[in-house]
Amino acid sequence: MVKAFVDANVLVSVLNKEYPVFTYSSRVLSLAARQDFQLYTSSLCLAIGFYFSSKKSGREVAKKKIELLSNHLSIAPISESAVKAAIKNPQVLDLEDGFQNYAAIDVGCSCIITENVSDFHFTDLQVLGSEQFLTEYVFK
């Protein structure tokens, strides 16, 4: 089973139908229905998704979209140890990315799916864009 962490920007691209990324990111999220994939995100990513979705769709619609996502994705907790590890790591420039990374590690993810691959330069996990993830794990 492939365990992958989905970053906030991938969620936002689906929530707001941001092309051309939507073509790939929506396909990535559809993998949550398959038995051979387990997709994770965090409550922080969902909150970021809600913020940007509410700007485009309004709060009520955005909340329904987040509820739908939360019913299909596993939620990786951002633990105290994840927060401390991100703060302690001098290579982590953006704490949000650090929190996501260590949350992904804590739940056993092998990769992070993000459209900002360079933001995760500090991790030992494989970091892929949506299109690259599909090429490597689905269309192989």
In a domain, 71, yes or no: yes
* CATH code of residue 60: 3.40.50.1010
Determine if the pTM surpasses 0.95.
yes
Residue range 74-128, pLDDT digits in tens:
999 999 999 999 999 999 999 999 999 999 999 999 999 999 999 999 999 999 9
Residue pair 53/17 in contact (Cβ under 8 Å)? The answer is no
Residue pair 116/132 in contact (Cβ under 8 Å)? The answer is no
Residue pair 13/115 in contact (Cβ under 8 Å)? The answer is yes
In a domain, 70, yes or no: yes
In a domain, 55, yes or no: yes
Question: How many domains does the chain contain in total?
Answer: 1
In a domain, 140, yes or no: no
Q: Which domain holds residue 70?
A: 2-135
In a domain, 13, yes or no: yes
From the number of C-beta atoms within 10 Å of its C-beta (0-12, 13-18, 19+), residue 113 rates as buried
Residue range 7-63, pLDDT digits in tens:
999 999 999 999 999 999 999 999 999 999 999 999 999 999 999 999 999 999 999
Rounded Cα–Cα distance for residues 128 and 68 (Å): 24
